[in-house]
Structure 1
Amino acid sequence: MLRLALVLLVCSFVTAQTNLVPNGDFERDENGDGVPDFWMTAGAPHVKQQLARDVGRDGKGFSGRLVCNEFGNGTPASHAMICQVGTIGVQRGRWYRLSFWAKAEGIRTGIVRVALVNTRIWSDVGLQDFFAPTSQWQRYEFLFQATSDLLAKESRLQIWFNSTGTLWLDDVELVEIPALSPRRLPQIPPEGVVNLLPNSSFECGTAGWGSYAPDLRWWMGNVFQLIGELDEKTSVHGEFSLKVSLSEPNLPTFYFDWFDPVRQPVRSLITAHHGWIAVNLGQPYTFSAFMKADRPNVVGVLFVRQSDGRSLSRNFTLTTDWHRYSFTFTPQADFIWVGAGLDLNASKMSAATVWLDALQLERGSQASEYKPRLPVEVMASTDAMGNIFVVERGHPTLPVKLYAFADGTRDTGQRTREVTATISVRDFFDDEVLRQTVRLTVPVGGGIVRTVNLPVGKFGFYRVQVTTSEKANFCLPIRCAIIKPYRAKDSRWGMNHAYPWQFLLRLAHRAGILWWRDWSVQWRTVQPKPDAKFNFGETDFQIDRVVKEGGNCLVLFPFPSADWSSSGDPTQIEKVQPVAYRRQVMLLACKPKDEQAFARYIAESVRHYRNRVTAYHIFNEPLYTFYSLPASLGHTLDDYLRLLRIAYKTIKSEQPSAIVVGGIGIWADNRWTREFVEAGGLQFVDVLDLHLYSGGSPEGLCEPLRKLWERMKQRKEARPIWLTELGCYADDDPPIEPLRNFFGDAATRSAFHPSERRASEWLVKLATLFFANGGEKIFLHAGTCGEINGVDTGSVFFEYGGAPRKMLVAVATMANLIPIEAKFERSQELSDGVIVHWFRFGKRQVGVAWSTDGKVHQIALPSGVSALDIMGNPIEGRKVAVSETPIYLTQ
């Protein structure tokens, strides 16, 4: 039996490692035609491409070479593609790894895409990604879980790009792998401690704690900061407890503008720790906490969040006295976090306050006597919201608070304990710019707080890490930003969807991000029935909360119809759209039965908002998506132009000064954009709308933008361009690994960058070229937020609590240096491989320069010209090194 088991195990392993790609090494060419067997090209006839074998990557054997020397982006099939058709089958739920070696030359954007597609329904089965090959051979790897069964005869493995250029591939391999178990981050070290929770009695302030609302079950986010305050008037252990209050009508409220506008007060609130704890499956753990309430019969909650998304909880009826409550459970996932709080719904109350203290998570089936995690704990935080400091000038410092607490339950006979904290500060470039040690004398049974002013001396992004000699001391790095104030009421920067929480709007505004593209003013929302009066009560909440904070709303009319006014046929929609919620959207996306009713909807909306709103956007991504007037249901460009004309004239009649934004909402090189311009669509807009999700070369991406801008000027119809959706994502502190497999959809993943520095540099370069070619405003996608310890990469600028990502500081710097009134003047070649793009406002000129050839160039600054780094700090000397990282020149 043992031998049989071993044989089966070996066979299973071998089967799992079988390469599913025939002739993945390109060695076979049975008919000698020079084309590798099983491989072929695919694309529109006007794309001139050729597939052949070339020398292998190590100088031996063969590789595959795809050459495209003529390209035109006219149809969805406009691509240069190497593929295999009818060869690869996968099974739903199983994990696979695709790997290959590649190099490239002359691909305009630098981006090559890869997918495994079901040709029966033309949909990917879990693999849809991209890579950026260089001129040198490199290995690329993609992990994916099949989302559906795929028969080999219905498959296409495809690797493609959208320009002229040459791509080489070798050793293409697709193998089944064991189920991928994602790794959660950051992890709290569980070794050598009884109580697994850091700062468990809040003696180190609120460092390491946040909040979570179990009743907020929205994909777009959860509570994103700690809701609660320290209370030194009552405690069980030490001097402090945490006071958490919920009270109508002032409950924390979560907002969002898609699909049904969300306005949900928080009635159940959990105080939760940052970080995941690795647990042993099948073994019991006990979570306990001391709690009391401001009145009898308040329901307290002990809560466990598991890494597989499931939650465990237990409710307790609290009293007005301190009592300890415990919950023993057996984890069903590899990682957990825990929290305690209150539930107004379960309490059947409109208001309540609870106090929390001495929380303990431990191995075993019962609670032991409470003890802090360590004899001495050291934590750090700042007093600034989001750790973002707004400083006018000078040599800024970072004021960081160090907290230290010495446990008094461990009798050592000592009155004080000594601990040395090491503070390391790294900047935008990940260079350590400061390191210092602080010696702390901590009274046993008590704590101290010391503010350390870190003399960083420059503006920008900083990461502050505090460590001690105790490896189990868990102190998260502090993301900080020092930025200059942004005082203008208008800016070049915005977000698609306003963040759900007001404090995030305020932080964004400080960075010069002032515009918010709002989706809430849908026909179905403001007029749910044909005979109903228009009612903007719900949409007012969404618009007014932005305006109240000093923001500007771009009001999007996302759909042409309401449910009752749509000309759509549900039967036909079901044939072309298999996803249920998208079918609901597609009904609204169809053209209205009554165009006069459509005009009334637009008129009533503008009439209502004209004193608060200056810009309106007509439909999201018409024709090529399911959002509005989908071509898949027979809609045409003429349909869009007709409704756009009606909306434009209606808006102007109600608000002549209003800005009307329109267009197809895709990038400049797409045929829909070209056809919109050539059909005269610009006469019915004040601003042309574009969208972009790509991590490709900014120079390659903006070449078609330049041509579009020139064409608009040739037609004497030049309109400012707004990029109302731009994807740009990175996370240097991923909450899960591998992040790419658990973040976003294919579009957002195509705009994912390997680091926040790379994303920031890309964004500054893309924005510079966009503003130099007719661009006026950029809206990043999207104003979402995650949950504590969850994926929040899609929020672009913020980590939990409003802590900044590097992209925020890069945008804040650019917003001040190239304000809305700046006009593009010229591009100047400083040397071979270095170009500066100059903008002028008043008597001042600001340029953005970087190396376009990947080399570092030493450039002598002209007289009167100064240089600033990407964070806005002066660069010393009259010679500056110009690399791929953009710098600013001022004169």
Structure 2
Amino acid sequence: MRHGKSRGDWRSPLVSVLVSMALVLAAGGAARGGGVGENLLPAGGFAKDVDGDGLADGWHFSGDEGVRVRFSLDPGQHGPCQRIECTDFRRVSPSSHVLVWTPAPSLREGSAYELSFSARSQGLTQTPVNVSLLQTEPTWTPVGLLRTFVPPAAWRRYRFRFEATKTTGEDARLQFWFLGTGVLWLEDLRIVELEPTPARFTETVPEAGGRNLVPNSSFELGTIGWGSFAPIDAWGGNLNTLVGMQDPRVAAVHRSSLRVTLRVEALPVHFADFWDRGRLLLWTPLRQVFAANRGWLAVRPGEAYTLSAYLRADVPGLVARLQVRESEWTAQEAAVEVGTEWRRYSFTCRPGAAQVFVCIGPDLVASNLTEATLWIDAVQFEAGGAPTAYEPRAVVEVGLRPAGGVPIFSLGEPAGFEVVAFNASREPRDVAVRCRLSDFRDQESEITRILRASPEATVTAPLELDSSRREFYRITLAADGAAVVSSRPWRAAVLDNYIADDSLYGINHAYPWPQLLALSRQAGILWVRDWSLKWQTVESEPGRFDFGETDAVIGAAARQGMRILGLLAFPSSNWSSSAPADVQPQEGPEIARRMVYMPRSLEEFARYV
């Protein structure tokens, strides 16, 4: 049954979802024809229904004969709201959806906006609702907004910030849709422009009011707030784990330090199976691995800041690096030679960006060593041209860590986190910790824990999660009487433990880090399309076969239980290609320019295969 002012020819919401997934984040903004804060959406108030069909003026319906819907304007919280009820839903075509739309205001590419509205539902608590902005001419094109939400039974206000990816005209539309039966109410829709704001990283360390900006700087909270960084051109993320561990027996201050050990025979290895500048393969044992604080620290560009730390090595002459990084590629640093006794090292810099993070760690390359251990303690990053006496970021700090180390839990098994607090003072402190949980349906709850921290001591408390059903959680930490380590919510999942030895799911190129491969295996992603058998890789010169690094790349994934689909990715190597002489490899993906041509000899190709 078709019902409404017009139905249009909307081309599958799923296509829009897939095409515009990468365009959803961002912030900042302006729009033609309106000032900052002015509602740019004329039909967002659902004020009138002149023709009496139940759908507010300015709104339209799209669906096919598999969908039966009815509309009405109902009283809302603060005025009229639109009621959209689907009484029968059968999927008979790509247009089988409950979709309402209204013309969107003009948007300007690169400007930022906020869409806000109130929503509630009945019978849709298991059905996601989608909202997007599209331009329909000359082709259906997402313009920066695509979000999914699951409205609860009670009214809830939603706010979605987005950046327009192109300038739109009269053919732009704002649309809501869902697939299934139930009732959706919408009230008070607004699109407003936002004041332009500079780009900022969002995973930040909250300011705590002290001189030292570094969280958990003496590692009394274990390794909460710390990861590792290596100076590599990495894909798949930089390390994605901490190389190091808390040492509760060795410390320069308080009771703990961070111990980082590197051994040539057991170094972390970054690998990629597609391209490396000369040989199309990348297998890089990491001999420079630095501890790095998680989260960006706010600084004033151009002013002096000093990074300091107490360091100690197990062998004399170990070179360590202290870095202040503005990005993965930009850093200011100092190299220091560390002895076997605790000593404080420092260097001063003037950051060129408003956000930085700090790194400290051993350098086996500069040290000309095959094995070394570095202990790190009392890290301090502060404004000024010289180090001052060490002090923690706050008298009491609090953080979260997942039980078992990874926030992915098996269905029916114990699941949860630990709340950890450290009191650096000489007096006992009570800390009220609030953990706000938001599940997959955006249903929120809060758990409070009161921790009594003894003087100069660490205290922990459990935070249990419901593991009786599959679920996804966001967990945000707040505290009275303490500073939290990070503003970043933890994300956790309760999943079935995948035990089969085969799967329909896989990835193109294996993750370079074993912990990510293990998590993929746990989630049921078992297959890897591997590119390391390329002709140029295994036979870089005629008759000279070398499978050493290919075996290493394939073995890294196979050891984690992954199944390998080996690809003979290109028909030629550089030397066997029929490409013209002026077609030569270049940096990046263009390194394969000669290899995409047919081989000059099928006999040579047969020998390779």
Measured against the shorter chain, the TM-score band is 0.5 to 0.7
Q: Establish whether residue 268 from structure 1 lines up as the match of residue 271 from structure 2.
A: no
Q: Map of 1:474-873 to 2, 5 A cutoff?
A: 490=501, 496=507, 500-503=512-515, 516-521=526-531, 524=534, 537-549=548-560, 551-553=561-563, 555=565
Q: What's the TM-score once normalised by structure 2's chain length?
A: 0.64
Measured after TM superposition, the shift of residue 95 of structure 1 is 0.8
Is the Cα contact below 8 Å between 2:434 and 2:479 reproduced in 1? no
Partner of 1:314: 333
Measured after TM superposition, the shift of residue 178 of structure 1 is 1.9
CA distance in 1 between partners of 2:248 and 2:318 (Å)? 22
Distance change >3 Å, CA 128–CA 300, structure 1 → 2: same
> Which one of 142, 161, 165 corresponds to residue 160 of structure 2?
142
> Which one of 132, 148, 153 corresponds to residue 130 of structure 1?
148
Is the Cα contact below 8 Å between 1:434 and 1:456 reproduced in 2? no
Distance change >3 Å, CA 340–CA 132, structure 1 → 2: same
Distance change >3 Å, CA 122–CA 513, structure 1 → 2: closer
Bigger helix share: 1
Is the Cα contact below 8 Å between 1:189 and 1:474 reproduced in 2? no
> Which one of 200, 217, 239 corresponds to residue 200 of structure 1?
217
Distance change >3 Å, CA 400–CA 373, structure 1 → 2: same
Q: Deviations over 1:309-355 (max 9, x none)?
A: 7854213242537452222334733x544232244566677665544
Distance change >3 Å, CA 213–CA 417, structure 1 → 2: same
Partner of 2:382: 362
Partner of 1:159: 176
Q: Establish whether residue 302 from structure 1 lines up as the match of residue 318 from structure 2.
A: no
Gaps of 5+ in 2: 1-30, 578-587
Give the residue type in structure 2 aligned to 1:254.
H
Q: Map of 1:383-402 to 2, 5 A cutoff?
A: 385-386=405-406
Is the Cα contact below 8 Å between 2:419 and 2:462 reproduced in 1? no
Partner of 2:16: none
> What SS is found at the alignment partner of 2:35?
helix
Partner of 1:211: 227
Is the Cα contact below 8 Å between 1:316 and 1:325 reproduced in 2? no
Q: Deviations over 1:262-310 (max 9, x none)?
A: 644334322123455455567543222244667787653333355x878
Distance change >3 Å, CA 348–CA 20, structure 1 → 2: farther
> Which one of 236, 246, 268 corresponds to residue 252 of structure 1?
268
Q: Deviations over 1:788-838 (max 9, x none)?
A: xxxxxxxxxxxxxxxxxxxxxxxxxxxxxxxxxxxxxxxxxxxxxxxxxxx
Give the residue type in structure 1 aligned to 2:40.
L
Is the Cα contact below 8 Å between 2:32 and 2:108 reproduced in 1? no
Q: Deviations over 1:717-746 (max 9, x none)?
A: xxxxxxxxxxxxxxxxxxxxxxxxxxxxxx
Gaps of 5+ in 1: 1-10, 408-415, 567-580, 605-891
Distance change >3 Å, CA 545–CA 28, structure 1 → 2: same
CA distance in 2 between partners of 1:530 and 1:29 (Å)? 76
Is the Cα contact below 8 Å between 2:112 and 2:194 reproduced in 1? yes
Is the Cα contact below 8 Å between 1:424 and 1:434 reproduced in 2? yes
Is the Cα contact below 8 Å between 1:47 and 1:79 reproduced in 2? no
Distance change >3 Å, CA 20–CA 406, structure 1 → 2: closer
Q: What's the TM-score once normalised by structure 1's chain length?
A: 0.47
Report the more deviating stretch, 54-63 or 17-26. 54-63
Give the residue type in structure 1 aligned to 2:167.
L
Q: Map of 1:40-189 to 2, 5 A cutoff?
A: 40-41=60-61, 54-55=72-73, 57-58=75-76, 63=82, 72-75=91-94, 79-84=97-102, 88-101=105-118, 109-117=127-135, 119-120=137-138, 122-133=140-151, 139-147=157-165, 149-153=166-170, 155-162=172-179, 171-179=188-196, 184=202, 187-189=205-207
Structure 1 vs Structure 2 CA RMSD: 6.3
Is the Cα contact below 8 Å between 2:46 and 2:81 reproduced in 1? yes
Distance change >3 Å, CA 373–CA 97, structure 1 → 2: closer
CA distance in 2 between partners of 1:375 and 1:294 (Å)? 31
CA distance in 2 between partners of 1:583 and 1:211 (Å)? 33
Give the residue type in structure 2 aligned to 1:196.
L
Measured after TM superposition, the shift of residue 31 of structure 1 is 9.2
CA distance in 1 between partners of 2:80 and 2:420 (Å)? 61
Is the Cα contact below 8 Å between 1:196 and 1:362 reproduced in 2? yes
Q: Deviations over 1:625-670 (max 9, x none)?
A: xxxxxxxxxxxxxxxxxxxxxxxxxxxxxxxxxxxxxxxxxxxxxx
CA distance in 1 between partners of 2:191 and 2:465 (Å)? 51
Partner of 1:653: none
Q: Map of 1:331-410 to 2, 5 A cutoff?
A: 332-333=353-354, 336-344=356-364, 353-373=373-393, 385-386=405-406
Partner of 1:685: none
Give the residue type in structure 1 aligned to 2:227.
S
Distance change >3 Å, CA 399–CA 83, structure 1 → 2: closer
Partner of 1:471: 482
> What SS is found at the alignment partner of 2:387?
coil
Partner of 2:41: 21
Partner of 2:13: none
CA distance in 2 between partners of 1:89 and 1:531 (Å)? 61
CA distance in 2 between partners of 1:559 and 1:68 (Å)? 51
Give the residue type in structure 2 aligned to 1:157.
L
Q: Deviations over 1:34-75 (max 9, x none)?
A: 9866554557xx657799984255497785869797865545
Is the Cα contact below 8 Å between 2:115 and 2:159 reproduced in 1? yes
CA distance in 2 between partners of 1:136 and 1:169 (Å)? 12
Give the residue type in structure 2 aligned to 1:316.
A
